[in-house]
Structure 1
Amino acid sequence: MWTKTPNSTLTPQDIKRYNLMIWKFIIGCFAFVVLIILLTSFEIFGKLPSFRDLENPKSNQASEIYSSDKEVLGTYYIENRSNVNYKDISPNVINALIATEDKRFYEHSGIDFSRIFTIFLHNLLGSKQGGSTITQQLALNLFSDKGREHNFYKRIPQKLKELITAVRIERRYTKQEIITMYLNTVDFGAYSTFGIKSAARTYFNTTPDKLSPDQAALLVGMLNGTGFYSPLRHADRALARRNLVLGRMAEAGFLTDGQAEEFKNKPLGLDFNPIDHNDGLATYFRDVLKRNVQQIFEDKSINNNGVPYDLDRDGLKIYTTINSTMQEYAEEAQKEYMRVLQNQFNQHWKGISKWKTIANFKLLLDQGMRRSDRYRELRAEGKSDEEIKTDFDTPVKMNLFTWKGNIDTTMKPIDSIVYCKMLLRNSLMSMDPTTGYIKAWVGGINFEHFKYDQVKQGTRQVGSTAKPFTYAQAIDNGYSPCMIIPNVPVTISGFGPDWIPGSSDTRPGQLTLREALAWSQNWITAAVMKEVGPVEVAKLIKTMGVTSPVPPYPSICLGTFDASVYDMTGAYSVFANHGIWTEPTYLLRIEDKNGNVLYENKPKVVQALNEQTAYVMTYMLKGVIESGTGSRLRYKYGLSNPIGGKTGTTQSNSDGWFIGITPQLVTGVWTGCEDRDIHFRSTSLGEGANSALPIFALYMKKVYANSELGIKKNVDFDPPKAPLTITLDCNAYKQQQPGTTEADKKLSF
């Protein structure tokens, strides 16, 4: 600028000089910008994405776990991000995004120069429209680890890098690919929700292709500030922002004015469905699966060009055998009955001193305290034992699990340990015996509060569920289920001290083997063990898939060894599958984010039992349900179809088991407290028929009621292909002369 006096005049030379100065300034600024851009492109101000980076943009993408019925069971993530294809995104989302963020998206090549020059005007008019195109925002999302810089001097070179990267992106990708990548990378706030697929599921419990204009407008509107426009915390702001986006969609011609007004009058309509590692179906299963996949990658050296795969970042797809509907039924059955059983347990112990009644109760509490996170944190702070004890005796606010929902309360930490010790735990596994595919896995009562999985990680004494193994060995040796044996005490020698089993339920007289198994008679089971020998029975148990130690002692016939629900359910599948043990399988295959198969599981198959023996054992196990310890399946729950099974109750009622078999499903259930010293004090409540069988019954009733699952109710076990040589007709068996069969000759009492 210049000043002039009233009498001064500009000469042509002055005008020429001033014009030259202005042009020099403009050219200088332009040259400076070009120089800065050139320096940026030569990476003077920091590294730019390489050609390879542009072809393979990295983002923290959640790995997804798929059920056999193609539902997403859950995800592993640092950022809850799942990619989606362009064709699976509703046009409403794309229209809302373009109308709001980048009207000239289809016209520019990464940089909208007209928008840059008018950005100040937009802001002055109140539209608050940024200068970055969708492509520039994508460049920032993909290739800037720190996000948008807030320091002005750092933001300038970052902005220049965005411009260059945006142009490079436009050269390598189509507009559809760019908008898809953008929608797969943006942050939608709550619970680290990234990408339109996760956002649709989190906020509206739907998929991106089904988002309506108002839903799309809400999500796109949030991109201007996920915290400020959060529909959870600031519903009024979110509503106003949504309506602004709807207005812009109308201005751009994507909606009519009438449609926009109609959608503006709708409420937010949230169906909030947060994704959390502690929520959703199959939480225990997902935790076990993650560690299993990581171990597979390590053992088989599966990696990405030498870099280990990261389940939380690499967007893997993990396909499992779990059926989401059956999983839901199993969890519902557990919740329905364990609420009732826990109430029975609480009433059973009401007014009873735990300190006087429960063995080692003080030791159990001390162990529980020392295993707690609170104890470890206090110890890490250098607290003494006395200070820690004082802390555990000082009431604090805490959140507790109950079968009516979590509750916030104030309690001494030591009392919370007592509370948790007195909670019954439960687990269930259900599998197809022919394929080995696991359909449902319930590893505990609440993953948020009790992380330990009781299906595969935990082993407990199996009790009478071990008895069928001894009977199977006898049947394989030629014994008939109709063989009659006196129900009298038995002494077994030769395996250490003489062993004389006790029996809490003794039916007098003589019983057939089938009746003895049905009524879970210890003495007759021991008599059979005496004949077939513990070494052969232990060998059979291992062949049928039990991986925990099974010492060859006579007492294993009564279930004194420990095993997991996973192993025991798999072992019982041998009876339902013609004697073939098919390894219980829950992982089918793993793919990378591009669909390349990284791993495919091939389960092991073993002929563990003679086919005829297996069929006879299904007949024996059906007797448990027809007239034995599992008969409440019929008289109480109305399941009169072909079902076999076995209850199990360990010493002092510490563990309750039920394993049920049908031609299409084998299901194992266990119930007990964390510590075996804490249990029901009466067998009528603590036995497997009361503590485990009802969950099986409720689960199966739900399964049978859903015909789409294909589990047929009235299908019986298939007989062996060869003619059956073992007598099942006890009337025919009685007509034989006593002592003439080889098995009769072997028995001596």
Structure 2
Amino acid sequence: MTGRERARRATLRRWASRASASFLIAGCTFSAWASTSFNDVKAAWKPSDTQILDRHGQLLQRVRTDASVRRGQWLALADISPAMRSALVLSEDKRFYEHSGVDWQAVSAAAWANLWNTKTRGASTLTMQLAGLLDDDLKRGSGGRSVLQKVHQTVSAQWLERRWRKDQILEAYLNLVPLKGELVGIDALSQTLFGKAAHGLDEREAAVATALVRAPNAAPKLVAQRACGVLKALHNRNAPASCDALEMFTTGALQRRDYGASEGVAPHAARQVLRDAVGQAAPTRITTSLSAPLQRFAVQTLQQHLRELVSRHVEDGALVVLDNATGQVLAWVGSSGELSNAAEVDGVTALRQPGSTLKPFLYAQAMAERRITAATLLEDSAAQIQTTSGLYIPQNYDHQFKGWVSARTALGASLNVPAVRTLVMVSPDAFHKQLVGLGLPLKESGDYYGYSLALGSAEVSLLALSNAYRALANGGRTSATTLMLGAKPTMRAALDPRAAFIVGDILSDPMARARTFGADSILATRFWSAVKTGTSKDMRDNWALGYSQHYTVGVWVGNASGAPMWDVSGTSGAAPIWAAVMHYLHQSQPSHAPRPPAGVVQVPVQFAEPNANPHNTLPLEAKRSEWFIQGTQQTHFAIDNEATNPYKTWAKSQKGLKSADHPGARITTPTNGTIVALDPDIPPSHQRITFKATGSGGRWLVDGKVFATGTSAQWLPWPGRHVVQITDARGCVLDNIQLEVRGAGVVNTPDTRTKPRPRAAARACVF
């Protein structure tokens, strides 16, 4: 016997001795996970992403919640392509379906080759590799596994084969195997490198994926070489596989990262759901109250309409749909997505100025306090209201006044001056408390906003505003909104149910809004609905809020940057989107008008306006049946010839005031030190200040520049402090005042709230 032969036999005896001892030790320690079943392993799987599902289980959004590793969803074996399954078995364990966990033929070949220091593929089967993935004690170290680990791995593999089916072993392995970089499992690999689901992997892709199993971080050239061998194994010798351009394909695949951190049609809603779950273990799936078909339609409709508004400088929008009964959110579209430069900003929760959409709550409060009725006549005319910071001069969008109108017309046609006059009756502080009670958490007090609160100068979110309209739909009752199913709402009273009903009736009346929107506008639906539009200062925000019997829909369009839109009206901005979503919701579901609550009555009313001839009266509005809170009803509404306007008393007090400095023409309107606040609901170009003077008049100058002649003039206001003068033909100053204009882009600093400066000195003139 040669020396080499004796050395081989000694080595075999040592290996057998160690194996026997190891088997005994493995038998003692194996019980630690001997009870683990396939279902246990599958249930314990935690993807690195959370799936956000709709109310019926459809996938809405996928969001990565574990940054330490990238694991996809657990895939059933049937959801993995046959090419991938075949490539893995042929490459890693050809006798997988024949052995019982350990391929003794491969073990013998490996042991013999090791004696001769010959490199071989190794004898580790897929089952043995799976045992190593399941047991932390069997993880391969930098120097490989120890003899004890190998024995333990062998025993574990045989145990798995006795308790698990072959398909379960293969399925678990494909889901648990670490692949390139942070990727674990075939789902994550397939989505990342190939941008597709694992069931769609072809032979070439499967070959590359299989090559990564043995060397996850190998260079692309080496991976391509191994993938070529796998491809050849998949084909018989009569039809050899082509490996042309495989290296280029492999290099490209290894550089891809198509598996985004978030993907779907509800990214903002998903973030909100996960934000609400802070402090809890991130679940793999969350079922929400959203409706996937409605969400997709809402996204598509919003984007389609915004594409049509691109030429008007509009790029952002948001939409929310609420279930009236439960407060559940059925659709949540936070932005226009790829159309926006600020797609991450959630327009559903962002604070914006609501414009005229607050008016329904103001009129409801005034009715509940019995200050007005739906038939009360309000004057729509020029008004200048004295405030602690100056004069507040509200105007209508078209810069025209309608005269005396009913509260129904004033609200339906969204007239600004009657709304401000109604707020004078209610008071800004009381209206502020009403809005807070409706769930609009305004940052400042009512006195801070002043009378501009009637026109939406405060900031609210689309979600909170939509929920306030939901309160109108529910007869004045409200509850918190929710993105989750199963939560029973806790309803509370927020509005007088009688006033809520009457306001809803006005908002559903096409004739009430006809004077501004026409009788057949985009706001008219074939089913019962109530709706209100609004536009904030400088056309920065455009809204449409409304409800049907079952749903409340809120839409906002504008620019997340705050930049103004160009020529976007209430019916061209948000309203078409609102109408499209409402019609989608009611394709087959009817919507009926609410039943009148107890305490309201309907009586016929008529209106009259006195003429110069007392026997001839002209109707202010057509006869109609009108709703009233019981006890406030009357049948005739008219204006007395001697009726006075309390909103102009401040102007009367200014008449006859003379300056002792100069004789001749004197400026009577506005007064020295006037502060003009540009209306937040009207573009500045639609607002002008009227100057009036007594005497023969002359030329009007603002900041030294002539702009008009005569005893009256209109001036387009510009933010800042200005000197207004009236001179005679020789240029002698007859009178002068100073005023300040506040508006968009002007920051109120302490010096802007100080007392007005003295009048500018006039040049001496000889008369």
Question: Normalization by structure 2: what TM-score?
Answer: 0.63
Superposed counterparts of 1:103-502, under 5 Å: 103-105=94-96, 108-118=99-109, 131-143=123-135, 151-153=142-144, 162-163=153-154, 165-167=156-158, 169-170=160-161, 173=164, 175-186=166-177, 194-196=184-186, 223=213, 244=232, 246-247=234-235, 274-295=258-279, 297=280, 309=281, 311=282, 316-345=284-313, 424-446=315-337, 450=342, 452-477=344-369, 479-489=372-382, 500-502=392-394
Change over 3 Å in CA distance of 1:169–1:585 after alignment to 2: same
Would you say 1:76 and 2:64 are equivalent positions? yes
Q: 1:711 aligns with which of 583, 586, 599?
A: 586
Instruction: Tell me the residue number matched to 1:609.
Output: 495
Aligned length: 603
Distance in 2, matches of 1:502 and 1:482, equals 22
Q: Residues 652, 122 of structure 1: CA spacing in aligned structure 2 closer, same or farther, 3 A cutoff? A: farther
3-state SS, counterpart of residue 719 of structure 1: coil
Q: Does the CA contact (< 8 Å) of 1:463 and 1:558 recur in 2?
A: yes
The 1-side partners of 2:440 and 2:257 are apart by: 40
SS in 2 for 1:587: coil
8 Å CA contact 1:429, 1:455 repeated in 2: no
- CA offsets, 1:540-579, max 9 Å, x none? 3223222343633453222121111111111112223343
Partner of 2:723: none
CA 1:734–1:718: 2 relative to 1, 3 Å: closer
Looking at structure 2, the residues matched to 466 and 128 of structure 1 have their Cα atoms a distance apart, in angstroms, of: 79
Deviation at 1:617, TM superposition (A): 2.6
Q: Report the counterpart of residue 648 of structure 1 in structure 2.
A: 534
What is the DSSP-based 3-state SS (H/G/I as helix, E as strand, rest coil) of the residue aligned with 1:64?
A: strand
1:563 corresponds, among 460, 468, 473, to 460
Q: Measure how far apart 1:163 and its partner are.
A: 4.0
Q: Percent identity?
A: 21
SS at match of 2:62: strand
- The farther-off stretch of 323-332 and 153-162 is 153-162
d(CA) in 2 for partners of 1:501 and 1:164? 89
For structure 2, the residue ranges without an aligned partner over 5 or more in a row are 242-248, 608-621, 640-644, 647-767
Q: 2:577, 2:113 → 1: CA distance?
A: 64
Contact 1:492 1:530 in 2 (8 A): no
Pick from 689, 692, 696: which aligns with 2:574?
692
Contact 1:201 1:207 (8 Å CA) reproduced? yes
Any stretches of 5+ residues in structure 1 without a counterpart?
A: 4-17, 252-256, 262-267, 298-308, 346-422, 589-599, 705-709
Deviates more, 1:647-656 or 1:236-245: 236-245
Q: CA deviation at 1:742?
A: 3.1
The match for 1:2 is 2
Take 1:208 and 1:98, find their aligned partners in 2: how far apart are those partners? 16
Instruction: Tell me if 1:727 matches 2:602.
Output: yes
Q: How far is the alpha carbon of 1:317 from its aligned partner?
A: 1.7
One-letter identity of the residue aligned with 1:294: V
> Which letter maps to 1:453?
V
- 8 Å contact 2:324–2:552 — kept in the other structure? yes
Partner Cα distance (2:58, 2:483) in 1:
15
How far did residue 180 of structure 1 move?
3.3
Tell me the SS of whatever aligns to 2:481. coil
Aligned-pair distance for 1:533?
Answer: 4.0
1:508 is displaced (CA, Å) by 2.0
In the alignment, which residue of structure 2 is the partner of 1:545? 439
CA–CA distance in structure 1, aligned partners of residues 633 and 431 of structure 2? 17
What letter corresponds to residue 406 of structure 2 in structure 1?
T
In structure 1, C-alpha distance between the alignment counterparts of 2:358 and 2:137, rounded to whole Å: 57
Q: Does 1:660 align with 2:546?
A: yes
- Return the alpha-carbon distance in structure 2 between the equivalents of residues 501 and 157 of structure 1: 90
Cα distance in 1 between the residues matched to 2:357 and 2:470: 13
Gap change, CA 1:167 and 1:577, over 3 Å in 2: farther
Residue 144 to residue 241, structure 1, CA distance change in 2 (3 Å): farther
SS in 1 for 2:318: strand
> Cα deviations across residues 483-524 of structure 1 (Å, max 9, x unaligned)?
33221356778x966874511434321222222122221111
Deviations 1:165-191 (A, max 9, x none): 54565566554543333232235669x
Tell me which residue corresponds to 2:697: none
Residue 615 of structure 2 is matched in structure 1 by none
Amino acid at match of 2:273: L
Q: Determine the C-alpha separation between the residues in 1 that align with 2:512 and 2:224.
A: 63
1:318 deviation in Å?
A: 0.7
More strand by share: 2
CA distance in 1, matches of 2:624, 2:560: 52
Give the TM-score taking structure 1 as reference length: 0.65
- Offset at residue 67 of structure 1 (A): 1.5
2:564 maps to what in 1? 679
SS at match of 2:306: helix
Say whether the 8 Å CA contact 1:473–1:536 is kept in structure 2: no
Match of 1:587 in 2: 484
Q: Which of these residues, 24, 27, 39, is aligned with residue 13 of structure 2?
A: 27
The answer to which structure has the higher helix fraction is 1
The residue aligned with 1:406 is none
* Maintained 8 Å contact 1:658/1:688: yes
Structure showing greater radius of gyration is 2
Aligned-residue offset at 1:608: 2.9
Read off the aligned partner of 2:335 and give its amino acid letter: G
Separation of aligned partners in 2, 1:614 and 1:645: 13
For 2:104, the aligned partner's letter is: F
CA distance in 1, matches of 2:17, 2:233: 39
Counterparts of 2:133 and 2:511, CA distance in 1: 61
Deviation at 1:82, TM superposition (A): 1.2
RMSD: 5.4
**Is the contact made by 2:602 and 2:625 (CA closer than 8 Å) also made in structure 1?**
no
DSSP-derived class of the 1:326 partner: helix
3-state SS of paired residue (1:716): coil
Structure with the bigger RCO (C-alpha within 8 Å, sep 6+) is: 1
- Answer whether contact 1:115 1:131 (CA < 8 A) is retained: yes
Q: CA separation of 1:122/1:508 partners in 2, compared to 1, >3 Å: closer, same or farther?
A: farther
Task: Identify the range of structure 1 (235-244 vs 431-440) with the bigger mean alpha-carbon deviation.
Answer: 235-244
| Alignment partners' CA distance in 2, 1:145 and 1:488 | 85
CA 1:609–1:189 in structure 2 vs 1: closer, same or farther (change >3 Å)? farther
The answer as to whether partners of 1:84 and 1:197 remain within 8 angstroms in 2 is yes
> For 2:425, what is the secondary structure of its paired residue?
helix
The offset of 1:470, in angstroms, is 0.6
Superposed CA deviations along residues 583-608 of structure 1, whole A, max 9, x for unmatched, are 221133xxxxxxxxxxx744443333
Alpha-carbon separation, structure 2, partners of 1:713 and 1:615 = 25
In 2, distance between residues paired with 1:631 and 1:239?
Answer: 68
Please state how far the C-alpha of 1:319 moved relative to its aligned partner: 0.8
Distance 2:292 2:504 in 1: 28
Alpha-carbon distance in structure 2 between the residues aligned to 1:97 and 1:728 = 82
Contact 2:373 2:632 in 1 (8 A): no
Distance 1:23 1:121, change over 3 A: closer
